[in-house]
Amino acid sequence: MQGLLLYMAARFRARPGDGEPRQVFGHRNLEIGWTAAPALILAVVFVLMLPALRSASAPEGDALPVVAIGHQWWWEFQYPNQGALTANELHIPVGQPVHVQLESADVIHSFWIPRLNGKTDLIPGKTNYLWLHAQEADTYLGQCAEFCGIQHAWMLLRVVAQAPADFDAWVANERQPAAAPAAAVAQGQQLFTQRTCINCHTIQGTSARGTVGPDLTHMGSRQTIGAGVLDNTLDNMRRWLKNPQAIKPGSNMPDFHLSDADVDALAAYLEGLK
Ligand code: CUA
């Protein structure tokens, strides 16, 4: 900006006169003035901003720290103080500031909940931060706002802001390992741990310890499947397991050509993980 102003000033000064004696000193003072004034204003604003910049990168007071990790194409949310972890659906307490640390597992993503904050990038190898502060209990919809590959459009997320007591109850449940499945769906758990599912997914309380895909310990309690691509219902879980690539092409969830019986057993098991 200053460079542009100086360039314009130089051009103005170089223009041949039209017979009138040029007011060289008047113009020069004007140039110095319009260059120095904005520079001074920017310098003052910069100094005033420094404390805000510093506070943005560290949680303070009663802030709830959360780590958000962008993956192609889903979100991982960690609660370091609570020892809890979930995916795609961030729960926060109403009225308490939430300090979100943003990381990426692969490419650049962007965290955007339009009703709660502006867009902030999640950049591999660099940590960014943002604050969330929900004033009323609601579900706030958001999405990845940086093109990150073929399923960028289906990298949705949602923030569930709850009364503090409800949030505490949610955290307490999240911290529990998956409940032992009822006899009717025990076959689903057996399939899950015998097949390749465990290479990518974790279900606390079982031998499934993969971290490539979302943690599924409480899958049944989430609102959506596949980071927002389907509502989380038993029927949709069947559709998803039957052929994920038909629903979210390019995602890391392969089509395992499961039989209908296996799909039914797995879907019943996963939907029972509340
Ligand atoms: Cu992640 Cu777009």
How remote is the CA of residue 35 from the centroid of ligand 1, in Å?
A: 41
Ligand 1 atom with minimal separation from the 148 CA: 2
Which residues have C-beta atoms less than 6 Å from ligand 1?
70, 73, 109, 144, 146-148, 152, 155
Q: Give kind and range of the element (H or E) at residue 50.
A: helix 24-56
How remote is the CA of residue 141 from the centroid of ligand 1, in Å?
A: 15
Which pLDDT belongs to residue 54? 73
How remote is the CA of residue 156 from the centroid of ligand 1, in Å?
A: 9
Residue 105, SS3 per DSSP? coil
Ligand 1 atom with minimal separation from the 143 CA: 2
Which pLDDT belongs to residue 50? 85
The structure tokens 């943002």 sit at: 130
Which pLDDT belongs to residue 238? 95
Residue 98, SS3 per DSSP? strand
Which pLDDT belongs to residue 181? 80
- Cα gap 164→185, rounded to integer Å: 33
Distance in Å from the first CA to the final CA of the chain: 56
Q: Are the CB atoms for 265 and 187 separated by under 8 Å?
A: yes
Q: Whose CA is nearest to atom 1 of ligand 1?
A: 109
* Cβ-based neighbours of 136, under 8 Å, separated by 6 or more: 94, 161
* Tokens at 159, concatenated: 């923030």
Which pLDDT belongs to residue 182? 80
Ligand 1 atom with minimal separation from the 107 CA: 1
How remote is the CA of residue 69 from the centroid of ligand 1, in Å?
A: 11
Q: DSSP letters along 8-29, please?
A: HHHHHHHSPP-SSPP-HHHHHH
Which pLDDT belongs to residue 56? 67
Residue 236, SS3 per DSSP? helix
* Tokens at 162, concatenated: 């709850």
**pLDDT (tens digit, 0 to 9) for every residue of the chain, 274 residues total?**
566 666 655 655 555 455 555 555 678 888 999 999 999 999 999 999 888 777 666 666 789 999 999 999 999 999 999 999 999 999 999 999 999 999 999 999 999 999 999 999 999 999 999 999 999 999 999 999 999 999 999 999 999 999 999 999 999 999 999 888 887 788 899 999 998 899 999 999 998 999 999 999 999 999 999 999 999 999 999 999 999 999 999 999 999 999 999 999 999 999 999 9
- Cα gap 96→59, rounded to integer Å: 12
CA atoms within 13 A on the CB side of 162: 14
Q: Is the peptide bond preceding residue 131 cis, with omega within 30 degrees of 0?
A: no
Which pLDDT belongs to residue 91? 97
How remote is the CA of residue 116 from the centroid of ligand 1, in Å?
A: 18
